[in-house]
Amino acid sequence: MRAMVLNSPKTPLRETELPMPKVAAGQVLVKVSACAVCRTDLHIVGGELPNPKLPLVPGHEIVGHITALGQGVTRFKVGERVGIPWLGWTCGECRYCHSQRENLCDDAKFTGYTFDGGYAEYTVADARFCFNIPDSYSDAEAAPLLCAGLIGYRSLMKAGDARRLGIYGFGAAAHIVAQVARHQGREVFAFTRPGDAAAQEFAKSLGAAWAGDSTSPPPEPLDAAIIFAPAGELVPQALQAVAKGGRVVCGGIHMSDIPSFPYKILWEERNVCSVANLTRHDGEEFLALAPLVPVRTEIEKFPLAEANEVLRRLREGMLRGAAVLVMG
């Protein structure tokens, strides 16, 4: 099968002919039809995330059809469509797994990072971590729901009942979260790279009440802000944009260092937190909610062989919505 393979961090992916993956007990073999490209893929390829499996097939927003079942799998049938997310396996035994926090499992394994992922024609996944995909989405439209959507949704839940919600970095996750937030009756304030008029227009087209540069203050104080951009300097900026008791949620897996800031911008019970990974419960809840909103994903499709070009465009902020690799 064809795959785009990372042989060592900080080098381009190489198009490679690999043997078909073998389906083990408890797994499904999936013929991939679409795999969305996530900012985390950039951080894996760029070497910011330590110790990836090598060589590695990246990609953790996978939609495809099951072509074989491993021993003991009864949840799915051959031919069924499934989604494969970032969380690939958890131990089920640690204190996090035992307290509904499997996203923090001490021994978790991740698709497209410590397991091979979806930049390939076929992949295998533990059936217990796969999701059913709502019928109203095509394969390519559904792919960004599996990380941009899921992690975005977990970030939104961390923002609590904030009515005035700021979103920093208006990419794949933000464009989904904005729609869910509007559906929940929140007001969305979108912050983009300074001068990025196209992203600001995009945010407004998705119902943002206001869109502006990340360096400018919002027109009114926010109740919470979610930061999807991997830029640590946004943390003090967002703290200054939230009202007393406001929360700043960092939604990415990697961020540049946060500059020091005066205590007075944290004072008055403002707080900062991060979001790590997802639980299967998040996935089930979000994938049930998405068609009701209904969340519409704005996607740009690319052939598998163009994965390097897509990563470059993502790094340079040249994508609108989510990029999706489509197979063949």
Site residues for Zn ion per CB under 5 A:
38, 40, 90-91, 94, 97, 105, 147
- Cβ 228 to Zn ion shortest distance, Å: 11
Q: Which is nearer to Zn ion, 126 or 223 (CB)?
A: 126
Q: Which is nearer to Zn ion, 49 or 68 (CB)?
A: 49
CA–CA distance, 295 with 287 (Å, rounded to integer) = 10
- Cβ 91 to Zn ion shortest distance, Å: 4
Helix, strand or coil for residue 271?
strand
Q: Which is nearer to Zn ion, 154 or 270 (CB)?
A: 154
- Cβ 92 to Zn ion shortest distance, Å: 6
CA–CA distance, 36 with 202 (Å, rounded to integer) = 19
Are 129 and 58 a contacting pair, CB within 8 Å?
A: no
- Cβ 40 to Zn ion shortest distance, Å: 4
What is the CB neighbour count within 10 angstroms for residue 24? 11
Amino acid identity, position 106 = D
Cα-atom radius of gyration of the chain, to the nearest Å?
19
Q: Which is nearer to Zn ion, 102 or 187 (CB)?
A: 102
CA–CA distance, 61 with 203 (Å, rounded to integer) = 23
* φ/ψ of residue 98, rounded to 5: -80, -5
CA–CA distance, 200 with 67 (Å, rounded to integer) = 42
The encoded tokens of residue 70 equal: 């491993």
For residue 294, is the peptide bond before it cis, meaning its omega torsion is within 30 degrees of 0?
yes
Q: Which is nearer to Zn ion, 105 or 178 (CB)?
A: 105
Strands 131-132 and 322-326: unpaired
Q: Which is nearer to Zn ion, 46 or 245 (CB)?
A: 46
Q: Which is nearer to Zn ion, 172 or 203 (CB)?
A: 172
CA–CA distance, 71 with 257 (Å, rounded to integer) = 46
∠ Cα 277 283 284 (to 5°)? 155
- Cβ 327 to Zn ion shortest distance, Å: 19
- Cβ 117 to Zn ion shortest distance, Å: 10
- Cβ 41 to Zn ion shortest distance, Å: 7
- Cβ 274 to Zn ion shortest distance, Å: 14
Q: Which is nearer to Zn ion, 27 or 155 (CB)?
A: 155
Q: Which of 86, 92, 94, 20 is nearest to 49 (CA)?
A: 86
Are 83 and 98 a contacting pair, CB within 8 Å?
A: no
